[in-house]
Structures are given as C-alpha cells and as structure tokens.
Amino acid sequence: MAEIITFVTVFAFGASIGSFLNVCIYRIPEGKSIISPPSSCPNCSNPIRFYDNIPIISYLILFGRCRNCKASISIQYPIVEALTGFFAVLILYYFGFTIDGLIYFLFIASLIVITFIDLKLQIIPDIISLPGIIVGFICSSFLLPTGFINSLLGIFLGGGSLFLVAYGYKKVAGIEGMGGGDIKLIAMVGAFLGWKAVIMTIFAGSFVGAIIGTIAMLIQGKDTKYAIPFGPFLALGAALYLFIGQDFINWYVRVMWR
C-alpha cells in the first residue's frame, strides 16, 4: 500500500512538472519568458484560475474547453502531463530517490519539451540542446555512472555521425535531409548516456522513423512530399536506452555470439 501511495504521489509530482513543460513548449519557440506572466487562455487571454490548472483533472472536468470563452484546449496539455508523470514513476522504479534519478528525470523532461516543439514546429531550440550538452557532460563526469571519457565519446560520436550523414545527404540529394537541431540533440544524448546510447538511439530512432514514414507515405500517396521530424524518434530511442538499453545490448551480444 505504501508503494502504491508513493508511486501515485510521484506521478502527481511528475504531472505537475508536465504542466510547466507545456508552458515551455508554448513559450520557448516564441522567445517568451517561461516564468511570467501567469498562464492564460490563448484565445480570450483570461488568466487560468488555480483550480482550472490541476494537471489532467482540470482538462477532464472542463471537457477540454476554456471555462470563460469555451474555446477548445489542445489535447497536448494532458498528454504531456500524463507522459511526464509516467516517466517520473518509471525513473523512481529504475533509479529510486537518487541524484542519478533526479538528473535523468530532468533529461527526460528536456526530451519531452524537444519532442513536442519539434512535432509542432519542426525545430529543436538551441536553448535546450546546447546547454544540455554541457550539463550532460558535467553530470556524467562527476555524478552519473556514464563517466568522463564515455560522455566525451558520446558527444563526438553522436554529433559527428549525424553531421556526416546530413552533409553527405545534402551533397548527394542537393537538399537538407536532417537539421542541425538533430545533430545537437544526439550530441546531448551522448553527453548524458555515452557512446553506446548514441548507437542504440540512432538505430531505434531510424527504425521507428522508417516505419512511421512508410505508413505516412502509404496514407498520403507515393508522390506526396512531406517532412517528418526526426527529433521525437531520437528522443524515443534515448528513453529506451535509459531504461532497457543495457539489457538489450547484453541480449544482443548473447544472441550474436552464441
């Protein structure tokens, strides 16, 4: 019973952080402060009351509409809140109440912000990824089990490999197939998780991205040109590595070297 209460509390805490992440997702691309002014309805500009700002619950009570003007509220808000709460519980399960767990939670939170900004606008803000590389390297060097060398290799392998892919694609196709934001994002992943994480992140991200891209092509038609942001798939790959990466690598090695 005590464990259930703990996990529910942690989920609620994570969902509350998710509410703040929604503010970041909305304001960072527009260059606005994430601290002030208080949240308001994008349609009528009325301030959101505290009892209408309870993560997930308020959305359900209001049936996804503003209390004042009845304008529709994006489903993104409860999704981000629930997703952040879910990852908070997952991190507690895997890492407990530790410094590692706190750092990884902040890392996941940054990936969530990046994912939804990239899905919406197809950009990955440098204000998240570039400081993330530095913070990840410092944390890995002094606090995380990743270590100094592993983190450094992750930065250069991650950023360098995608840079070469992007450069080669542009030379061959004559157009950009990958943005600089993706390069900085994978470098950030390498800074926090190391070079092995870079390999799995790119592999998993490319695999899932190819599946989604193929489905989109079948739905839209073969001649339809569209752009699918790669950042969310890299974020998914990084999250997979954080929780099951080492187990997957050990399984793969056993299978390949029987």
pLDDT of res. 27: 94
Q: Return averaged pLDDT per consecutive 10 residues of the chain, 258 residues in all.
A: 89 96 95 86 83 90 89 94 98 96 98 96 94 97 96 91 68 63 94 94 88 78 65 95 83 64
Q: What are the tens digits of pLDDT across the range 163-178?
A: 777 666 566 655 665 6
Is the distance from CB of 99 to CB of 146 less than 8 angstroms?
A: no
Q: What are the tens digits of pLDDT across the range 193-213?
A: 999 999 999 999 888 888 887
pLDDT of res. 102: 97
Longest distance between any two alpha carbons in the chain, whole Å: 65
* Helix, strand, coil abundance in the chain, percent, nearest 5: 75, 0, 25
